[in-house]
Amino acid sequence: MRPLNPDKGGFSSVIGLCQNVMGKTRPYRIGCIPISPCSPSYPMQFAPLYPLLYPILQTVFPDCLWSGSPQSRTIALTFDDGPHPQYTPHLLQVLERYDVKASFFWLGTCVKSAPNVAREVYAQGHWIGLHGYHHHSFPLLTPDTLKQSLEKTQATITQACGLNSDRLRDVRPPNGLFTPQTLRLLHQWHYRPVMWSVVPEDWVRPGTSVVVRRVLQQVQNGSLLVLHDGYCGGEDVTQTTAVLIPILLNQGFNFVTIDQLWQLK
């Protein structure tokens, strides 16, 4: 196989696959609320493809955080699309029960809708990252619009939580979609692009047992797990997390935040 060139045809193939796998399985939404259902009846799910896609993208785009050190028994548990006024507080109870610190990638519009929930997440010591103001794929935005989206999200989180905006540097692109230009802009604006290594596709709600099985089949040293506590997938996130954490702890894994995972990379 020829190496993929991220600025030529190889990249087009990869990003095309990303778009098919990720972009088409998420609903359009206004603000936090999806316009179309979050769990449509797809003829197939794409979760089996993610383990194949991840090592390719990790090689092509090494400046993104895809995982931590393979020599360290540490993993990062992350949650996208929140905060949600109902799902996130229940999730926090599970994390507190097991004394696990997670990382949350927030939509600015959801923070605006649930500032008290956002404040509680931050107060409990979890790491906060940016997911854009709305759930819009970054490559579809102009540079100015993308910059405004991230800065508006920073400002909204800062106002809700009272933290310094300089700490809000980690960015996860919605739907996992980005281009080389996206990465150049993020680095230019002093953001850190964060991706994933384990994606159990919980947003289509295949069932807690299915999500747990997918995670346990893929998790390894340094894994970066993605679950969702927003309107898509958030209904099951508390139960899924409550099942996963004790199993992973019993397997000897330690949970770290995204900031800690960067240091262990």
Domains of the chain: 9-37+44-264 (3.20.20.370)
pLDDT in tens, 145-203: 999 999 999 999 999 999 999 999 999 999 999 999 999 999 999 999 999 999 999 99
**In angstroms, what CA-CA distances link 71 with 67, 79, 199, 249, 263?**
11, 24, 21, 17, 13
| Cis bond before residue 83 (omega within 30° of 0) | yes
How far, in Å, are 53, 112, 176 from residue 101 at the CA level? 27, 23, 23
121 Rama sector, left if φ>0, alpha if ψ -120 to 50, beta otherwise: alpha
pLDDT, one tens digit per residue, over 10-44 is 333 334 334 433 333 444 455 566 544 454 444 44
The residues carrying an active-site annotation are: 80, 228
